[in-house]
């Protein structure tokens, strides 16, 4: 069965700018995690890709400010911290044995505003548009800020589609956000699964282990996951959860009473998350 890659285009519905409260990006008392796919095209066509994980840790003081440290999945520091003030997110890092602070995000920008982005080689970026997206993982709207350079955008309360550090593609190297978590819960998925790697010839792509059939399904949908415990959630096109549960191996879901149409099923084993599209009816 052909694997369906579920991206932002399908998972989030652009609905125009909606009135909403601001969603901060740096959260107190919450462990935040960004899974970022890194691609090195140096060996093209046999390029390598892997997943960097950024997790927030303890706070530290520098230059009279308090920053939330970024750690890797093993708890080691990247030497980078984040702080937020007045809808502006600053990055702090060591350079020549000194702490340097740069403005990385400014969610006060209006369409047409220009921002000098030191993090992007001192380039200037112009905000092209602001929309609202419905995030059915959390049942909230998030503003999305689309820029005229580098094919990138900001997502309120999350960061950038290029990852929390927003490294622009250069010289055969690129980064992109896969998913974002809060306290271990998946809050947003831009690409699935949430962990991808082909380093040393090992593929950790959970999608290769999942089969959903029949698709379309009229009465029963079968989930078949090879030798793995997982939890599942089934959502309709409006983002409403219509079924959920846990299983191992094969699981059948009764869908005969569901309204005909497109649905999305999210499966996770605690480390990886995969979202697939199915049709009922």
Residue 55, beta-bridge partner list:
33, 71
| pLDDT for position 101 | 92
| pLDDT for position 97 | 85
In angstroms, the CA 48 to CA 223 distance is 30
Average pLDDT over residues 76-96: 90
Q: Residue 203: is its pLDDT beyond 70? A: no
Angle at 9 between CA 280 and CA 185, to 5 degrees: 80
Taking residue 45's Cβ as centre, other Cβ atoms within 10 Å add up to 5
| pLDDT for position 222 | 93
Name the residue ranges covered by the structural domains of the chain: 8-201, 206-280
| pLDDT for position 15 | 46
In angstroms, the CA 91 to CA 112 distance is 24
| pLDDT for position 45 | 56
> Which CATH code for domain 206-280?
2.60.40.3080
Sign of the CA dihedral with 1 first, then 175, 150, and 163 last = positive
| pLDDT for position 238 | 58
In this predicted model, what pLDDT tens digit does every residue of 87-136 receive, in sequence order? Answer: 999 999 888 888 989 899 999 999 999 988 765 555 788 999 998 877 76
Residue 125 tokens, joined: 């970026």
| pLDDT for position 168 | 65
| pLDDT for position 51 | 82
Question: How much of the chain, in percent, has pLDDT values that exceed 90?
Answer: 31
Per DSSP, 17 falls in state -
Question: How much of the chain, in percent, has pLDDT values that exceed 70?
Answer: 76
For the chain, the residue count is 281
| pLDDT for position 3 | 36
Q: Residue 10: is its pLDDT beyond 60? A: no
Summary mean pLDDT of the chain: 79
| pLDDT for position 46 | 60
The DSSP element (H or E) to which 9 belongs, if any, is: helix 8-11
Quickly state the pLDDT bin for 53 (edges 50, 70, 90): confident
DSSP labels, 99-126: EEEEEEEETT--TT-EEEEGGGTTEEEE
Main-chain phi, psi angles of 179, to 5 degrees: -160, 165
Q: Residue 13: is its pLDDT beyond 50? A: no
Residue 232 tokens, joined: 């599942």
Q: Residue 202: is its pLDDT beyond 80? A: no
| pLDDT for position 198 | 63
Quickly state the pLDDT bin for 42 (edges 50, 70, 90): low
* More confident: 85 or 211: 85
Average pLDDT over residues 27-50: 80
In angstroms, the CA 216 to CA 281 distance is 6
Average pLDDT over residues 221-227: 85
Q: Residue 204: is its pLDDT beyond 60? A: no
């Amino acid at each position: 069965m052909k694997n369906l890659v579920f991206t932002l285009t399908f998972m989030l519905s652009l609905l125009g700018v909606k009135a909403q409260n601001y969603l901060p990006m740096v959260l107190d008392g919450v462990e935040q995690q960004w899974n970022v796919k890194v691609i090195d095209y140096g060996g093209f066509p046999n390029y390598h890709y892997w997943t960097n994980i950024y997790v927030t840790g303890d706070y530290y003081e520098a230059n009279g400010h308090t920053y939330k440290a970024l750690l890797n999945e093993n708890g080691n520091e990247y030497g980078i911290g984040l702080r937020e003030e007045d809808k502006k997110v600053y990055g702090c890092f060591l350079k020549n044995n000194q702490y340097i602070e740069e403005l990385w995000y400014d969610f006060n920008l209006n369409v047409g505003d220009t921002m000098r982005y030191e993090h992007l080689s001192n380039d200037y970026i112009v905000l092209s548009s602001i929309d609202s997206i419905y995030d059915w993982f959390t049942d909230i709207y998030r503003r999305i800020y689309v820029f005229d350079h580098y094919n990138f955008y900001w997502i309120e309360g999350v960061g950038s589609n290029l990852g929390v550090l927003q490294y622009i593609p250069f010289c055969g190297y690129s980064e992109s956000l896969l998913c974002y978590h809060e306290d271990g819960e998946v809050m947003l998925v831009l690409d699935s699964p949430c962990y991808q790697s082909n380093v040393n010839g090992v593929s950790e792509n959970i999608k290769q282990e999942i089969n959903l059939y029949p698709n379309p399904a009229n009465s029963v949908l079968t989930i078949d996951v090879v030798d793995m415990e997982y939890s599942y959630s089934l959502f309709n096109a409006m983002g409403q959860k219509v079924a959920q549960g846990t299983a191992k191996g094969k699981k059948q879901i009764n869908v005969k009473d569901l309204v005909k149409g497109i649905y999305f099923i999210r499966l996770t084993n605690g480390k990886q998350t995969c979202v697939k599209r199915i049709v009922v009816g």
